Structure 1
Amino acid sequence: MALLNNENTSNNTLDNFNLKKTLSLYTKQWKWFVLSLILCIGFAYVNLRYTTPKYLAVAKIMLLDDKDNSSVGALNDLSIFSDREDAMVEDEIQVIKSRSFLRNIVKELSLNVRYYTKGRVYESELYKSTPILVNFIESDSIINNTNSNFYIEILSDTHFNYRRNEDGQPKKYTFGETVPTGFGGIIITPKIKSIENNIGNNIRVNITKAEFLAESLKDRISIAPTGKSSKVVQVSLVDPVIEKAKDIVNTLIDEYNNYTIKKKNEISDSTALFIDRRIRLVEKNLINVDDSIVGFKTSNKITDVVSEAGQFLNSSVANEQQIDAAKMQLSQLNYVKETLGDETGKYNAIPSNLGAGDPTISALSSRYNELLERRKSLLKSAGSQNPIVLELNQTIAGVRQNLQQSISSSSTSLRIQINSLESQSRRINSKITSVPGQENRLRGIERERQTIESLYLYLLQKKEEAAISLTATSPSAKIIDAAYNSAGGPISPNKQIAYASAILLGFLIPFGVFYTKNLLDTKIHNKEDLEGEINNITVLGEIPKVNSNKVLVEKNDRSILSESFRIIRTNFDYIKRTRKVKEYDNVVFVTSTINGEGKSFFSMNMALTLANTNKKVLLIGADIRNPKLLLGLDEKRKNELAKVGLTEYLVDKSVTVEDAINNYDIKGNKIDILLSGKVPPNPAELLMSDRMHPLFDKVSEKYDYVIVDTAPAMLVTDTLLFSQYAGHTIYLTRADYTEKRILNFAKELHAENKLKGMMLVVNDVKQSNFGYGAKYGYYGAKQKKGFFRKRA
């Protein structure tokens, strides 16, 4: 049994998907499913009964290529017309559905003026069968932009009533008489000879803007190819009047063919004129290009651009070499000049090959190096203050000064030379740079001449082709099937689909409602839900939801409430025997997470159930903040017994346990009750009193069972303050009330062993969710017989 699972029992079975449980969530709501099906099917029936039937008109055409038409063959190769050869079928479909075509259809068929006759259920349009005809005095431009309704009642073959509104005051007119309206005068005339058969008929005339109707047709007309890469397209339209739908589809095809024939004729007529104009223009351009070539060569004084460019390149190379040599010599002179000017290295030797064409600098360099070498030799045998060394120093200084002056003079000359060479290089490079542009410009002019010349010859050829081409034109669409009723009858409403959809919707609506409700449900509903949330604490059982008239079990009671408590009592006794608690084994604390989960209700009934077995039972009301253990007592008895209780015992040491305990006979069961007493200002401190220990010692010895109704464990700390006196703890949860998330608090209490011997109970479970009595009933209880069982 699931009740007898210990704390180590695996919860793998609960984690698995339970199809039967899932289906039961919906099957027990079968009444709502039946109601939904009845409503949906009824709605479908009414909708089918009062919906105007619609018909489908379909036509098939083949789109022809323009190249099949010889009238424009002379221009088929021109780029301006070549795109028409490769026009996709989709492009032509967009042309057929253009607003201009649809506006023409509205005007040609007078679709903006419609006649309706009212039947029993809905109005039906009188297309080509109207007994009257409305003639407008105003221009078509005004009528095509008018929205209006008016009503005609045929009185006789000569008179009729006119009303602007359906409930308006009628005005009598004669056929052929001008009737004034807000959009101009109208004249009503009979359309058929035997109008007597229509006397008494009411006809509604509806005038709609032509642009609005064209837009409506654009949305309603469907044009699509019959297959991939096929030029055969299907044109279809759905409308309540099949003849009207056929006329619209056929007229649309005719309009498209007339349009394409007109366009081809225009092209054919303008072909010759176009080619003649182009030939004259191209001929003029060809002469201008020839003149441009002559003028370009004359203004630039060139005959052969390539040979002149070679000469410029040779000159540029030689000039660049001279510039590089001069810059190298200048760099060397600058280096020597910096060396001579450095005081720290004034007796260092300098390169002797710096002349580079200047003999003075070369001679001075050699003389300077020789003097430095001589001074170095003298310093080895004489000191630096030797007269010969001093005299030699003066000579070296003079040579150095002369050398610096010669270098400065030579550097200035080199800079002037470099500037001159660079200026010459820029002139040569400018000429070289201009050569590609001149060559490119000349080639461009020649290329333009070749292009214009080719076009000129091409146009002359096309002029001859246009002169001998045929002038006959053919439409761009070949009619394969004219418009016809493809279904042979109305396509909508479809009864099979309507009823199938109604049945499907009838199931989906309640399913969606209950699925969403279950998806958003965060509360527990029965024992199975509780075991799914807490799998390591034993669940003793479920208590069914009862009406307010039956809240306490009675002596020899066989109700579902009493049986539920008997099951809980049996399961509790079994767990109690297996646990083998040493102290306070007969003391049972009853608590819950929050207020309103039925602790007092359970405590009272559990005590009565235990007393029903001739056990001596004491019920203690330990919830001194919010006492509720006066359940089942009359008002007079409540007032008498509530004067002395647990509070008075804990506060007044003169009050004994026997003074606070009273004996009761409730529903035939005799139990002792220690009521809560008055609500104290300090309940938490009072429950920590030293008098609690002797109280529980004494009552646990005197009674077979001590049931203690305590405060909610999560809201206040009262229960935990004296939980050491509990041998067992029954933790109450309430179906459709206790949130699953707050059960984590119960898990924490159990994990930290704050409450001894925790066991769970689910209170207030609905009959449909209850594990006992909901489907099979109780053994020995009277069963209600259904209609078929009574007959049997």
Structure 2
Amino acid sequence: MALLPNNNLSNDNSEDFNFNLKKTLSVYLKQWKWFVLSLLISFVLTYISLRYTTPKYLAVAKIMLLDDKDNSAGALKDLSIFSEKEDAMVEDEIEVIKSRSFLRNIVKELTLNVRYYVKGRIYESELYKNTPIVVNFIESDSIINNTNFNFYVEILSATDFNYRTKEDGTAKRHAFGETIPTSFGGIIITPKKENIENSVGSNIRINIVKAESLAESLKDRISIAPIKKSSKVVQVSLVDPVIEKAKDIVNTLIHEYNDFAIQKKNEISKSTADFIDERVELIASDLVNVDDSIVRFKTGNKITDVASEAGQFLNSSVANEQQLDATKMQLSQLNFVKETLGDDSAKYSSIPSNLGAGDPAISALSARYNQLLETRRTLLKSAGEQHPNVLQLNQSIANVRQDLQQSINNSSKSLRIQIGSLESQSRRINSKILGVPGQERRLRSIERSQGIKESLYLYLLEKREEATISLTATSPSAKIIDEAYNSAGGPISPNKQIAYASAIFLGLLIPFLIFYTKNLLDTKIHNKEDLEKEIKNITVLGEIPKVKGNNVLVKRNDRSILSESFRIIRTNFDYIKRARKVENYDNVIFVTSTINGEGKSFFSMNMALTLANTDKRVLLIGADIRNPKLILGLDSQNKKDLAKVGLTEYLVDKSIIVGEAINTYEINGNKLDVLLSGKVPPNPAELLMSDRMKPLFDKVSEQYDYVIVDTAPSMLVTDTLLFSQYAGHTIYMTRADYTETRILNFAKELHAENKLNGMMLVVNDVKQSNFGYGAKYGYYGAKEKKGFFRRRT
């Protein structure tokens, strides 16, 4: 309910959001007329801009950048120093295409530095190929290409024209074909027969610009980029007011690039072929020298094949080592037997039987010696050592041992001689083997050099043939996929759809920003909702509409919006009054505000008249004795009928009774008792503290159904608080578009500290469009206002 304090507000975030959204939209919807006006202005300005803006067209061509593998540069492309990544190649070629040298050639080839314009009503249009006249220069192109000049030609007939250097300058009449002197040399203007008859009366401006500056301008305007990342297909585009001119520039740029690429490749092919010829001759000479080096090396070292001879040396060394090891083994065996034979303790021990592998005599003696020893051991089994047969065998064994020792000595000498010979032979073979790696290394070095020079020689012969062939079969570096065409089918600028969409956007944005900024900087309340948002724990009785004209007081049986708003406040007040149950002064209502000008007196008078409409006895007291305003509501009364005695006189003069100060007035059909403020005293605060105040309120509260007291602003002066104890209820006034939210803190403090009894709030002077809650739908029974877009039913 609107009559309940606002401390039981819902915490539902979604409801708050919906409410705030609606309120925010309503703030701007109220200003719909300004939005409509802004849209109309935006549309008009956009239409004028589109009407008189020079259209621009987009010319687009697509080319594929080709590899150079089969061309002159490709003769050496498989070498690492000539290889490159494809992405880098595409980026490099794009920079080549956009180079100033290419663009300067295009400017010269298409004569772009001489431009013709025909003047229209609003703007100039460039004539590209259908010019009615042609300007010829006597001076060289080098001078013309570095000249900035502007002049005007007015075609008078098929034979003559007016010439001016300034648009508003003095005209000179010349004939076509006549030499006209200028600062950079003479010029000759000739007509085009097919166009000149239709161009009589035309004003043409000829603009000559420097080729270098025009090339720089083209470089900034031409766009070249691959259609996809890592793609070799490149799109070349240019925006220009003349589509045919844009197409010619793009196509000429591509052809210029291809011509340059072919010329570059031919130059590279020729220089490559010359370079290869020189290298072939040098390498052929080096090959002859290497062959001679191999012959000299083999002859000097008496070898034919180092590898095979090294194998033979290794085989001989192995055989010699094997023989040497066998001979040493035999010598070791003979030395062992010799030691055994020389040992007296082992003179009857057997010896190895295979010692004579190298000498048959030793082998036979060894076998004879072992046989005698075996016979002796057999005989000893049956006879003693002194037996004649045993003694005879001992003599035979001694003789064989002596012969065997002699033979071993002789064989040992022979073996030692053989060992010495084998060792000498082994040293010779090893010496030759150790010399083989050095020979092989030197030979391999020579052969390696020979192989490198042979492979390089063959490689260069092959590349020379490729370079020679490429001179006669050079292909362009760019394959044309699509020649330049108008990609949009019409002008791309200005874009009407985007322009009008922007007009709508700006037409709505500008007033939105204005109102948004205004609302952002707004620190005032505007209606009941704003007040409830700032003060949540004080009841708001209602809103009073903004009143235009002089009808600021309600009438009896009045059905105006003003009267209905006060009836709502009266009803709400009665509801609160019954709920509060005040014991003393329940019918006394103080009306105050924070500052001056918030409508206390206006409200007090109308509230009293509204209560009087119910045939209640109502007394209106003007207690603002510093700045009395109630008298303004009695302007319709005859001044001589106004009471001369007021509240001031009553408080000062104790002889005056209450009845003498109260007078009855008829206002708009209602009879109302009024106690005016009286004269402005010098000490209002002290006067309001008079002990006569209590008897006054005691008496009037008994005699009247309602007592309305118009008091001073509470924040500016302390008057109201001095006798606020006599108030049963206090109506605190605020004013829409006037009361600032920051000063409402004072009202919060008064309520928190209970300095004013039964505080209730009222919003005064609210625009009907800002009425909160249902008030915006109008008052029941009031004449309905038809909106601009509202249909009649």
Q: Report the TM-score, using the length of structure 1 for normalisation.
A: 0.71
- What pairs with 1:329-478 in structure 2 (closer than 5 Å)? 467-470=464-467, 471-472=470-471, 473-478=474-479
CA distance in 2, matches of 1:51, 1:774: 51
Distance across 2 between alignment mates of 1:279 and 1:31: 94
Aligned twin of 1:91: 92
> Which residue matches 2:409?
none
Ranges in structure 1 where 5+ consecutive residues have no aligned partner: 284-448
C-alpha separation between the residues in 2 aligned to 1:185 and 1:212? 23
Task: Identify which range, 755-764 or 65-74, moves more after superposition.
Answer: 65-74
Q: Tell me how far apart the structure 2 counterparts of residues 462 and 234 of structure 1 sit (CA, whole Å).
A: 39
Cα drift, residue 788 of structure 1: 11
1:647 aligns with 2:648: yes
Residue equivalent to 1:483: 484
Q: Which residue of 1 aligns with 2:435?
A: none
Tell me the alpha carbon deviations over residues 273-294 of structure 1, each in whole angstroms, 9 at most, x when there is no partner.
77869999xx9xxxxxxxxxxx
**1:167-206 → structure 2 map (5 Å cutoff):** 167-192=168-193, 195-206=196-207
1:429 corresponds in structure 2 to none
Q: CA deviation at 1:580?
A: 0.6
Note closer, same or farther for the CA distance 1:11–1:735 as it changes in structure 2 (3 Å cut): farther
| Alpha-carbon distance, 1:622 to partner | 2.2
Counterpart position of 1:502: 503
Aligned to 1:118: 119
CA distance in 1, matches of 2:38, 2:234: 44
Distance 1:639 1:469 in 2: 128
Native 8 Å contact 2:131 2:195 kept in 1: no
Superposed, 1:258-277 pairs within 5 Å as 258-271=259-272
Do the aligned partners of 1:175 and 1:189 also contact (CA within 8 Å) in 2? yes
CA distance in 2, matches of 1:486, 1:221: 15
Where 2:129 maps in the other structure, the secondary structure is: coil
Question: Which residue number corresponds to residue 678 of structure 1?
Answer: 679
The Cα shift of 1:84 comes to: 6.6
1:753 Cα deviation (Å)?
A: 1.7
- For 1:489 and 1:746, locate their aligned partners in 2 and report how far apart those are by CA, in whole Å: 68
Task: Tell me, in whole angstroms, the C-alpha distance in 1 between the residues paired with 2:148 and 2:656.
Answer: 97
**Count of residue pairs the alignment pairs up:** 623
- Give the letter for the 2:125 counterpart: S
Q: Does the C-alpha gap of structure 1 residues 716 and 69 become closer, same or farther in structure 2, counting only changes over 3 Å?
A: farther
Please list, as runs of the form range in 1=range in 2, the aligned pairs for 1:306-317 lying within 5 A after superposition: none
SS state at 2:193 partner: coil
* Correspondence for 2:2: 3
RMSD: 3.6
Structure 2 unmatched ranges of 5 or more: 286-444
Query: In 1, distance between residues paired with 2:612 and 2:279?
Result: 122
- Give the fraction of aligned pairs with identical amino acids, expressed as a percent: 78
Q: Which residue of 2 aligns with 1:623?
A: 624
Match of 1:667 in 2: 668
Name 2:566's counterpart in structure 1. Answer: 565
2 CA distance for matches of 1:245 and 1:501?
Answer: 28
Partners of 1:742 and 1:469 lie apart in 2 by 96
Task: Please report how far the alpha carbon of residue 466 of structure 1 lies from its aligned counterpart in structure 2 after TM superposition.
Answer: 5.2
* Residue type at the aligned position of 2:226: P
| 2:770–2:776 contact (8 Å) kept in structure 1 | no
**1:582–1:209: structure 2 CA closer, same or farther, 3 Å change rule?**
farther
Cα distance 1:11–1:621, how it changes in 2: closer, same or farther (>3 A)?
farther
Q: 1:46 corresponds to which residue? A: 48
The residue identity in structure 2 corresponding to 1:568 is: I
Residues 702-741 of structure 1: pairs in structure 2 closer than 5 A: 702-741=703-742
Compared CA separation, residues 672 and 252, structure 1 to 2 (3 A): same
The Cα shift of 1:659 comes to 4.0
Q: Cα gap change, 1:683/1:215 in structure 2, threshold over 3 Å: closer, same or farther?
A: farther
Contact 1:237/1:249, CA 8 A, preserved across alignment: yes
Letter in 2 for 1:765: V
CA distance in structure 1 between the aligned counterparts of 2:788 and 2:9, rounded to whole angstroms: 45
Distance 1:721 1:90, change over 3 A: farther
* Residues 611-660 of structure 1, C-alpha deviations (whole Å, 9 max, x = no match): 22222222222223332222233399569858643334334444443343
The answer to whether the 8 Å contact 1:588/1:706 transfers is: yes
What corresponds to 1:58 in structure 2?
A: 60
Identify the match of residue 32 of structure 2 among 30, 36, 57: 30
| Letter of the structure 1 residue corresponding to residue 691 of structure 2 | D
Q: How does 1:132-151 map to 2 (within 5 A)?
A: 132-151=133-152
Shift of 1:152: 0.8
Tell me the equivalent position of 1:67: 69
Note the C-alpha offset of 1:789.
11
Give SS of 1:664's match: strand
Q: Distance in 2 between matches of 1:104 and 1:652?
A: 111
Secondary structure at the counterpart of residue 779 of structure 1: coil
SS at 1:165 equivalent? coil
**How far does residue 16 in structure 1 lie from its aligned partner after superposition?**
3.5
Match of 2:333 in 1: none
State which drifts further: 210-219 or 734-743. 210-219
Name the CA distance, whole Å, in 2 between partners of 1:122 and 1:553: 66
Give how far 1:271 is off.
4.2
Distance 1:142 1:776, change over 3 A: same
8 Å Cα contact 2:63/2:478 also seen in 1: yes
Q: What is the SS of the residue equivalent to 2:548?
A: coil
Per the alignment, do residues 772 and 104 of structure 1 end up closer, same or farther by CA in structure 2, a change over 3 Å counting? same
- Counterparts of 2:477 and 2:178, CA distance in 1: 47
How far, CA to CA, are the matches of 1:225 and 1:255 in structure 2? 19
Superposition deviation, residue 608 in structure 1: 1.6
Q: 46-55 vs 196-205, which deviates more?
A: 46-55
* Residue aligned with 2:88, SS: coil
Runs of 4+ more than 6 Å apart: 272-280, 456-462, 785-792
The Cα shift of 1:269 comes to 4.4
Deviation at 1:59, TM superposition (A): 0.8
How far did 1:582 drift? 0.7
Give the Cα–Cα distance (whole angstroms) in 2 for the partners of residues 587 and 167 of structure 1: 87
The two structures have a TM-score, normalised by structure 2, of 0.71
Q: Deviations over 1:436-459 (max 9, x none)?
A: xxxxxxxxxxxxx9xxx99x9798
- Residue 77, structure 1, aligned to residue 74, structure 2: no
Partner of 2:83, secondary structure, is helix
Which residue is 1:221 aligned to? Answer: 222
CA separation of 1:486 and 1:698: change in aligned 2, threshold 3 A: same
How far apart are the structure 1 equivalents of 2:787 and 2:253? 68
1:630–1:638 CA contact under 8 A, matched in 2: no
Contact 2:685–2:722 (8 Å) recurs in 1: yes
Q: Which amino acid aligns with 1:469?
A: E
Which residue is equivalent to 2:551? 550
- Counterparts of 2:509 and 2:789 in 1: how far apart (Å)? 31
1:570, distance to aligned residue in structure 2 (A): 1.2
Secondary structure, in 3 states, of the residue corresponding to 1:17?
helix
1:247 to partner: Cα distance: 0.3
SS in 2 for 1:706: strand
Counterpart code for 1:590? V
2:152 matches 1:155? no
Distance in 2, Cα, partners of 1:467 & 1:627:
118
1:215 to 1:608, Cα distance in 2 relative to 1, 3 A:
farther
* Deviation of 1:7 (Å): 5.3
Partners in 2 of 1:192 and 1:699 — Cα distance?
111
Change (3 A) 1:642 1:138: farther
One-letter code aligned to 2:704: Y
Amino acid in structure 2 at the alignment position of 1:101: F
CA contact (8 A) 1:74 1:462 kept: no
Are the structure 2 counterparts of residues 731 and 279 from structure 1 closer, same or farther at C-alpha, using a change threshold of 3 Å? farther
Q: 1:654/1:265 Cα in 2 relative to 1: closer, same or farther (>3 Å)?
A: farther
Secondary structure of 2:673 counterpart: strand
In structure 2, give the amino acid aligned to 1:106: V
Post-superposition offset of 1:729:
0.9
- CA drift of 1:682 comes to 3.7
Deviation at 1:245? 0.9
SS of match in other structure, 1:168: coil
